[in-house]
Every structure is written in C-alpha cells, then in structure tokens.
Amino acid sequence: MRPLKYVWIVLAALALPVQVSAQVQDCDRLAASPLDPQKQTPGLSYNQLNANLAVPACKKATEESPQTARLWFQYGRALEKANRLPDAIYAYQEAVKLKSGAAHNNLGELYRDGKGFQKDLNKAEEYFALAASLNSPEGKSNLSALQAQQKKVGGGTIPKELVGSWAGKGSVCLKTLDKKSLSKWYGMVFTSNELQKGRVSDYEIGPDLCAPQKVTGQFPTYTIAFDCKPGDDGPYTTIEKFTIVGDQLSIDLNGITVWKRCPN
C-alpha cells in the first residue's frame, strides 16, 4: 500500500490546470479569427494577420496537438494569407474532419470565389450549410447571401448561354427532332423555357420535352432541375449540371457528356 502522502501528491497534481504550450498560445494569439466559435483569444481580422509569424507558430501547434480543430483552421487561415493555397486547403480539410465550422466556411468561400478550386456554387452552398450547422456566424451569413443570389438567378428560364441547338460528341447537327432524324442523331434544343431531347437507344426514340423547374448557379456553370415528358415512357425528373466553355457544353448526369454548339 502506497503512503497517504503519495496519494495526496497525485491528487493535487490532477487538480492543477492543464498548461497550454507556448506554440499553441502563439498560434491562438497570431491566427485566431474573431468569428470562429472555437477561438480561445479575441482573434485578428484577416487584414491584421501576419502570415510570416502565424504560419510557423501554427505549424508547430498542429504538430503538437493534431486533434485540435481550431489549430488546423488557424494554420489554414495563415497559409491562405501567405498565398499557399494547396497547403491551406489541406489544413482546412483537416479542421473539417474535426468539426470546425470556421474551416467549413472558409472552404465554402474558396469554392464560391473559384480560389484554389474550380468555381462551384453548389459545393459552396454545401459547405456554408455545414458551417451554419456548426454555429459559424460567417457560415450562416454566407449561406443566406448565396441562397438570395441563387434565388435571383433561379427560376423557370434556361440561361441565355444555353439557348440553341447542341449535338453530342461525334454527332451531326440537324435542325429537326423528328423520328427520321433521330435514327442518326442524338441531340437537343434549348429554348427560353424548355429543353427538347432527342434520344436514340435500344428502348427509346424521343423526343423528350423537359421543362425547367429550378435553375441555380451562374455562368459558366448551371444546375437545372427538369420535369420531363418523354416520347415513350412515363414522366420523370432529372437534375443536370451544365458547364459551358466556348462552344463546348459538358453535361454531368451520372457522368460527363460533351456536346458542341450547332450553327444557328
């Protein structure tokens, strides 16, 4: 049996507050955001952040405490200020794994602004929503602003950039969508409020008539939800992502198909 004095020493040691290392304190002091719900200090605005000091401090802090979400977020924030975007994205992703609302928000901003990623408003909205669910005030405000913007863009009208005739890769551009033409053409025609599809396969000869119910995004990428009345089958709903580069149209619906704009 251990002496009573030893037991009291152990209990006293357990009662002492856990000491935060100098590296963690430096990272908190130099890179915390005022809008991070997990912050341990008042924080600095992005303009006030000194990347030359914050990056090495937060690197050491994450090495010492790799399971602390706020440190990874702060490291990512410092790296972004240093314009080291790939490294910043990695740090934000590590913070996201640890449930950092602030890191979710910052990744959403990168997708929204096309910074370090291809611009993707749907992905941005997803990250902002997750940030909001983790009590990030920036996530909540960014989500509201993005949804308000999409509401203005959204509606039942197909964006003007899509309007016209398109033919699938390797197909011939034809002006009509009759069954005779469809025997050798897979194509589509957009008007201001509908999409006509001509499909050729073992089981279906179009044309389909699809009316847009919701349009989100902005040039060059749009996501459109359609309600369709096909030529040979029952009504269905489809959600498709359209990306336009020059006269090339990429349609992502369970995979990516490339189309070319037909001459008017």
Question: Domain extents for the chain?
Answer: 17-153, 160-261
- For 127-177, the pLDDT digits (tens) are 999 999 999 999 999 998 987 776 665 667 888 889 888 887 777 776 666
pLDDT of residue 16: 41
Omega cis (within 30) before 235: no
Question: Residue 108: which of 96, 193, 97, 218 has the closest Cα?
Answer: 96
Domains 17-153 and 160-261 in one fold: no
* Assigned token pair, 263: 């001459």
Q: In this predicted model, which residue has the larger pLDDT, 123 or 54?
A: 54
Least confident of 26-30, 125-129, 199-203: 199-203
pLDDT exceeds cutoff 50 at 12: no
Cβ 165 vs Cβ 188: under 8 Å: yes
Name the one residue in this structure whose structure tokens are 């009662």.
Answer: 15
pLDDT digit string, tens, across residues 101-128: 999 999 999 999 999 988 888 788 889 9
Residues 66-85, mean pLDDT to the nearest whole number = 96
Cα atoms in the 13 Å half-sphere on the side-chain side of 159? 22
β-bridge partners, 222? 217, 242
Average pLDDT of the chain is 83
pLDDT digit string, tens, across residues 80-92: 999 999 999 999 9
CATH of 17-153, one of 3.40.50.2020, 3.90.550.10, 2.30.110.10, 1.25.40.10: 1.25.40.10
pLDDT at 210 over 90: no
pTM listed for this prediction: 0.57
Residue with tokens 């001509």: 198
Task: Give the phi and the psi of residue 242 in degrees, each rounded to 5.
Answer: -110, 125
- Give the mean model confidence (pLDDT) for residues 9-23: 57
Which tens digit of pLDDT belongs to each residue from 211-249?
Answer: 888 888 888 989 998 888 876 667 888 888 999 998 899
Percentage of the chain modeled with pLDDT above 70: 80
By 3-state DSSP, what share of the chain in percent is helix, strand and coil, each rounded to 5? 40, 20, 35
| Tokens read off for 13 | 């040691």
CATH placement of domain 160-261? 2.40.128
